[in-house]
Amino acid sequence: MNYPESVRFLYSLGNETRSAKLGLERIALLLEELGNPHRGTEFVHVAGTNGKGSVSAMIESALRAEGARTGLFTSPHLVEPTERIQIAGSPVSHDEFARAFNRVHAAAESLVSRGAFEVHPSYFETLTAMALLRFREAGVVCAVLEVGLGGRLDATNVVMPRLAVVTPVDFDHEAWLGRSLEAIAAEKAGILKSGVPAVFAGQREEAARVLEGRALELRIQVTRSSDWRVENLLLKPDGCRFRACGGRVFEIDCPLAGEHQVENARTAVAALDRLGVSTGAAEEGLRRVRWPGRLQRISRDPEILVDGAHNPAGARALAAYIDRFYTDRRVWLIYGAMRDKAVGEMGGILFPKAARLIVTAPGQARAVRPEAIRDLAGHPDVRVAARLPEALDLFRAEAAPGDVAVITGSLFLVGEALEHVS
């Protein structure tokens, strides 16, 4: 299959959450059929609820600055699935993606024909195998793997990493991971393995107890982000600058916006120190890191920001950013979400920050109808737009000089904004 055909086939397997098949048996068999491409490569494995993508990008950027040939596997994508598999800082090409898909698909079909699989591996299992195969073929020395869902039974958990990292744990995907913070943390703690050191970001008390307890059971060495002191902190609309002081001193100038990125950067510093990355490479890597779709300005006149906040913790981070940098500006919030998200809770956090609210829907079957969001919004000035282009037209037609639009609620909506505005 060529690239468009391979993407269509992957989408036919169902979206990541709906088609998720938690468990390691299928991915282990699939990788064995492919010659176990995950063996011989070093991995940094990153789980968590919020910040795991940012931390993964920071670690990969610094490893690359150190001179390593790196791989990065993340999810979801914003515009194209090639974004998920990066080598040496660049997404794989369409041809490389298709070649990896065809090899994995052929292996999967062989396993199905022999009765080893009842059905084709899931969307995420297939992509995970594609990434691991591509990393081996490209001579990747160290790859950073972001967990897709949970950790314990996530397809990425088939690897034996050099380091495990757990970013802040919060509520998300409760239907899959459990209704309590302790249950969710237990799933995230599933990436911890005997003999593999770990780094923990700052955690809520309930999650910290579970993570620390599991680390104690496994007798692994744990570094905590709180072991690193933050000094001379300067928060800017387009990033942060601070000194991280622990065993070494790092001068951090991070271009990712939002106060929450301080903790993400501090967690990355703890991981990079544990990996033995030089101070200069760590500083350069964080200075050059890119992670699109998170508090990203995509237009200056009029000013339009996108942010992939899709759960309550992400909403709180976005609300804090608006409070810090936009209290003297009129904020238009363009909001759309998926049905499996805590729309009421997120709306309670974000909608009061908006002078004007436009509710819309990403072009996905699982999207919440804009009218349903309008009915629960309780906002004095709320409009309905069927799709994002209509919402942007409303904003542009009525915005006064100095107004700012923030597009959020779903990474699907953010991806559409990047395509429509950029």
The Cα angle at residue 341 between residues 374 and 91, in degrees rounded to 5:
115
- Residues 332, 358: Cα–Cα separation, whole Å: 7
Residues 6+ apart with CB under 8 A from 390: 360
Does the pLDDT value for residue 167 go beyond 60? yes
pLDDT number for residue 176: 63
The answer, yes or no, to whether residue 18 has pLDDT greater than 80, is no
Vertex 265: Cα angle to 157 and 251 (nearest 5): 140
Q: Which of 288, 306, 332 is the last residue of a domain?
A: 288
Q: Tell me the CATH number at 323.
A: 3.90.190.20
Mean pLDDT of 161-177: 85
The answer to whether residues 394 and 274 belong to one domain is: no
- Axis crossing angle, helix 123-137 with helix 25-33, rounded to the nearest 10: 40
Question: Both 81 and 144 in a single domain?
Answer: yes
Between the alpha carbon of residue 169 and those of residues 81, 345, 422, the distances in Å are 26, 17, 32
For residues 238 and 370, state if they share a domain. Answer: no
Cis status of the peptide bond prior to 76, with omega within 30 of 0: yes
In terms of domains, do 318 and 401 share one?
A: yes
CATH number of the domain where residue 68 is located: 3.40.1190.10
Measured between its terminal Cα atoms, the distance across the chain in Å is: 30
Tens-place pLDDT, residues 224-278: 999 999 999 999 999 999 999 998 999 999 999 999 999 999 999 999 999 999 9
Looking at the fold, whether 356 and 255 belong to one and the same domain comes out as: no
The model's confidence at residue 172, banded by pLDDT at 50, 70 and 90, is confident
**Statement: residue 16 has pLDDT above 60:** no
CB 128 within 8 A of CB 84: no
Mean pLDDT for 340-358 is: 94
Chain center to CA of 159: 19
**Are 334 and 392 in contact, with CB atoms under 8 Å apart?**
yes
Residue at a domain's end among 253, 288, 323: 288
350-356 average pLDDT score: 97
Within 10 angstroms of residue 349's Cβ, the number of other Cβ atoms is 19
Give the residue numbers spanning the domain of 344: 296-421
pLDDT at 39 over 70: yes
Q: Are residues 21 and 92 in the same domain?
A: yes
Of 256, 288, 320, the one marking the end of a domain is: 288
pLDDT on residue 23: 79
**Helix, strand or coil for residue 280?**
helix
Model confidence at 17: pLDDT above 90: no
Q: Sorting pLDDT into bands at 50, 70 and 90, what band is 33? A: very high
Residues 250 and 176 in one domain: yes
The pLDDT, as a whole number, for residue 83 is: 98
Share of the chain above pLDDT 70, in %: 96
90 and 50 assigned to the same domain: yes
To the nearest whole number, what is the mean pLDDT of the chain?
95
DSSP-assigned beta bridge partners for residue 367: 338
Q: Do 148 and 175 belong to one domain? A: yes
Task: Mark whether 162 and 58 lie in a shared domain.
Answer: yes
Distance CA 31, CA 74 (A): 19
Number of domains into which the chain is organized: 2
In this prediction, residue 420 carries a pLDDT of: 87
Q: Give 77's pLDDT tier (boundaries 50, 70, 90).
A: very high
- Beta pairing partners, 199: 165, 223
Whether residue 71 is predicted with pLDDT greater than 80 in this model: the reply is yes
Coil, strand or helix: which one is 270?
Answer: helix
Cα separation values, 52 from 201, 292, 332, 386, Å: 10, 14, 28, 32
State the Cα–Cα distance between residues 184 and 182, nearest whole angstrom.
Answer: 5
Q: Which pLDDT does position 247 carry in this prediction?
A: 87
Looking at the fold, whether 277 and 327 belong to one and the same domain comes out as no
Residue 196 has pLDDT above 70, yes or no: yes
Do 40 and 144 fall within a single domain?
Answer: yes
Amino acid found at 266? R
pLDDT of residue 340: 79
Helix axis angle for 279-288 and 260-275, nearest 10°, is 150
Segment 80-97 shows an average pLDDT of 98
| Cα–Cα separations (whole angstroms), residue 250 to 55, 155, 200, 233, 290 | 16, 34, 18, 13, 19
pLDDT for 19 equals 45
